[in-house]
Structure 1
Amino acid sequence: MQQRPAIAVVAPNVLMGVGLKAILEKIIPMADVELFGDFEAFAEAAPERFFHFFVAAQLFVTHSSYFRPLRHKTILLCNGQPQPAYADMHRIDVCTSEETVVRDILRMHRGAHHHEHDIGGAAYPAGVQLTGRETEVLALVARGYMNKEIADRLQIGLTTVISHRRNIMEKLGIRSVAGLAIYAMTAGYVAVDEL
């Protein structure tokens, strides 16, 4: 049995931590996401098992001797201010929209082609065959089109689009639009910059 990838969110700000955890669970449903309010709790939780650490900037500064050598696993949670001292680190601006955070995470994932630990695709069902029309609908959903826009674009009925979406979600076992977007990107149906 394949072990589910584990991701740590290390943030003393409860709202930021809980919000990021919810976003990660939505876009990476195959991962176990754990939240830690301080470095000590994180250090006691066998941190070597985590594929990635999302770390608040203030904790990173305090514990940079731990996180810097693991920069390939560490994603720094920044507050939007330019931080040249962290130019060599993966960074996410937490003072932006959910869509931007999701896009940044997807771009980071896409850029990690030969990463030590790859979290994409492994938990999706193998051998799932989508029809040509289902792949068209999936690509448009991933690009952010609404059901009515998809129906107009593909010149099919609205109920047909809804039926295709239901079939896609059932076949893939994915329940969120963000999850569908990740699947579409990892399967090559859309490029990261189209999301």
Structure 2
Amino acid sequence: MNTKEAILRAALRVIGEQGVAGLTNRRIVAEAGVSLGSLTYHFPSQTALLREAMLLFAADETARLGELARARKADELSVEDAAVAVGRVLEGLPMTIDEIASLELYLQGGRDPGLRDVTARCFAAYDELALTILRTLGVGEPERLVGPVVALIGGLQLRRLATGEAPATPAADALMMLVRGAGR
């Protein structure tokens, strides 16, 4: 890992632990094990740092979810089987500082117009992945379901993260209700 990436990953850990408000140069360099000069060389402002951190998070997340989609695509699953598989993946995800960091970055995008294009790209990646999966499954009018599917999964994950508990309605059941309801 190069210095720039080490700084970005350290910033994500600090954001997850302390929030964006707790993101200081001293915390970042201590976490990354680099000099203050290295930090300021690579990132002249906090906005630049947050922008690059969000891009790194989005790239990592897109690669991870894309791999899951490719693995499931080969299985030729039914919509029901796919919903169960997605539910298992969501339930198996660790609720860690990384997830908290991503939420902090999204919120910061709402506060800082300079970050909105990056957060929009991240959500576009989620949308594209959802669209690919829905098309692969042969769901009718998948474009109509992309936003609701992404929102449902994000909301369920947020609830799980905030409460520490699985939602009363499992993700697979919620996805099936959404997909079946859209077909009416």
Both proteins in one fold, TM over 0.5: no
TM-score (norm 1): 0.31
Kindly indicate which of the two structures has a greater share of residues assigned to helix.
2
Which structure shows the higher strand fraction?
Answer: 1
